[in-house]
Each structure stands twice: as C-alpha cells, then as structure tokens.
C-alpha cells in the first residue's frame, strides 16, 4: 500500500475546518461541535515538531476555502493547504461541504489501491464530523472477493468517528471551550492464494480539537494507536 500518500490524503481531508448517524437520539445541539466555512476563509497554523522532548516550529501553513462548485450533486467548496506565503494555485485541492448533519469530503477514490477493485470506495461523499451524534460510522465495507488469478481477498474497511472529550484552550489570548474528536481508519486484509495467506492490518487515527464557530484548533495523528509528537495548532483565521 502507498501508506504515506493515503494517510496524507486523509489528513488533508480531515484537517479542513468547516462549520457547518448512528445514534437515533443524539445529545443537545449545544453539546456538539459546529462551525462554518465560506468562500474566501483562511486559517493559519504553526506546524510543531519536537526533538529530544524540545518542541520547535517546523513551518507555517495556510488552509483556504474558495471556488464554489457542484460535485456529486452537492454544492461545495474547493479546499487548499499550502505553505505560508505560497500561491493557492500551487497546491492540490479537495472538495468539502457541510449541511445540518455534518461535515463531508468528496472522494473520486477514497483509498487508491483498494478503490481499483471495489466500486464502494469510488465517487462518494464521506462524513468526517457528525453535528448530531457523538459516535458515527462514515464507511463500513466487508468483502470476500476472488480475483481471476485465483487470489482471494477478505477485506474489512471502516472509517468511524467519535466525540471523545472537551478541554479549555487559549487562542489569541482568549479562553475557549473546545471539543476533541477522534477519527479512526481500520483496514483488515487477508490475502490468500495456493494455500498461503498474508494478513495486513492498518489502524490510523486523527485527533481534532475544535472551537465552535472558528473550526479546527489543533490536529495530531497516530499510527497503530501511537500519537506522533508533531501537531498543528491554529494561530489566526479570517
């Protein structure tokens, strides 16, 4: 698998700050995250890394929304992530939208290598944050497929999210109550041929700290349950 490319795509998608179920009886609206994005919004972040326990500024980035579009029957915006000061046109983009229920990203291929063989991972809007429920599942696919060469693939692919907590954060010298959301991607693959089997498990997570009406304040990522020392944190927005 192209791990780096695939994980980066998911990170770029989830990092988008927006505003805009599995539980049929969700909690009150005041207890859940909500935020909006509009054409021309920009968020500015410091990318923080650490070495031997000492944190340092790795680089600064900007996140832009612009260019209203219609994709997959939905009204949406293009979304860019670039190094601070670069031209927006120098970056790849994704499509994003919100409605009363949540925040979504459009994928022509959700996970490139698997999408080659499974149409369920093509041309779909994926919910990344639910504005009505504390737990949700965006994608849940289970397949048992035998290919023309006799290779059998048993696949379980799940992208789910949950509201895991809250904390007080300081942004621009002001304190805010924030929400902590965790997105988990779990892929189990068993590949069998000629009596031999290979098992592969992928488990990656993104943790987002969100301020209502502002958007994503902090983002960090984990692989196999271990969070990296690096993270991005909001410094300004407009």
Domains, the chain: 3-237 (2.40.360)
Average pLDDT over residues 38-49: 92
Segment 169-189 mean pLDDT: 94
31: tokens are 């207890």
From CA 56, how far away is CA 90, in angstroms rounded?
A: 26
HSE (side-chain half, CA atoms, 13 Å) at 153:
17
Q: Can you tell me the distance from the alpha carbon of 158 to that of 147, in angstroms, rounded to the nearest whole number? A: 22
Rounded Cα gap, residues 116 and 109, in angstroms: 8
Lowest mean pLDDT among 4-18, 142-156, 160-174: 4-18
SS3 state at 70: strand
Q: d(Cα 233, Cα 214) in Å, to the nearest integer?
A: 13
Task: Pull the structure tokens for residue 118.
Answer: 């499974």
Residues paired with 212 in a beta bridge: none
Nearest to 65 by CA among 6, 110, 17: 17
Q: pLDDT tens across 71-107, in order?
A: 988 999 998 888 888 877 767 788 988 888 888 889 9
Helix, strand or coil for residue 55?
strand
Query: Which tens digit of pLDDT belongs to each residue from 14-35?
Result: 444 333 333 333 344 457 888 8
Angstrom distance (rounded) from CA 17 to CA 49 = 21
Per-residue confidence (pLDDT) for residue 225, from 0 to 100: 85
Q: Is the CB of residue 54 less than 8 Å from the CB of residue 165?
A: no
The model's confidence at residue 8, banded by pLDDT at 50, 70 and 90, is: very low
Structure confidence at residue 43 (pLDDT): 92
Percent of the chain with pLDDT over 70: 86
The three-point CA angle 223-221-49 to 5° equals 110
What is the enclosing helix (H) or strand (E) of 154?
strand 152-171
């Amino acid at each position: 698998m192209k791990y780096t490319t695939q994980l980066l795509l998911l990170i770029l998608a989830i990092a988008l700050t927006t505003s805009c179920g599995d539980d049929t009886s969700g909690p009150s609206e005041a207890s859940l995250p909500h935020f909006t994005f509009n054409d021309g919004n920009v968020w500015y972040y410091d990318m923080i890394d650490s070495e031997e326990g000492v944190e340092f500024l790795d680089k600064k980035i900007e996140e832009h929304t612009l260019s209203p579009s219609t994709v997959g029957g939905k009204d949406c915006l293009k979304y860019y992530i670039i190094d601070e000061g670069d031209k927006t046109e120098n970056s790849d983009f994704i499509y994003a939208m919100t409605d009363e229920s949540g925040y979504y990203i459009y994928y022509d291929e959700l996970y490139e290598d698997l999408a080659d063989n499974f149409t369920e991972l093509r041309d779909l809007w994926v919910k990344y944050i639910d504005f009505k429920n504390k737990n949700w599942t965006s994608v849940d696919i289970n397949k048992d497929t035998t290919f023309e060469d006799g290779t059998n693939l048993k696949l379980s692919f799940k992208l789910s999210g949950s509201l895991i907590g809250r904390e007080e954060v300081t942004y621009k010298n002001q304190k805010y109550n924030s929400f902590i959301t965790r997105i988990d991607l779990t892929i189990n693959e068993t590949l069998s041929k000629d009596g031999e089997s290979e098992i592969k498990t992928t488990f990656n997570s993104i943790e987002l700290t969100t301020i209502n009406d502002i958007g994503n304040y902090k983002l960090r990522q984990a692989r196999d349950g271990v969070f990296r020392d690096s993270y991005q944190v909001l410094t300004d927005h407009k």
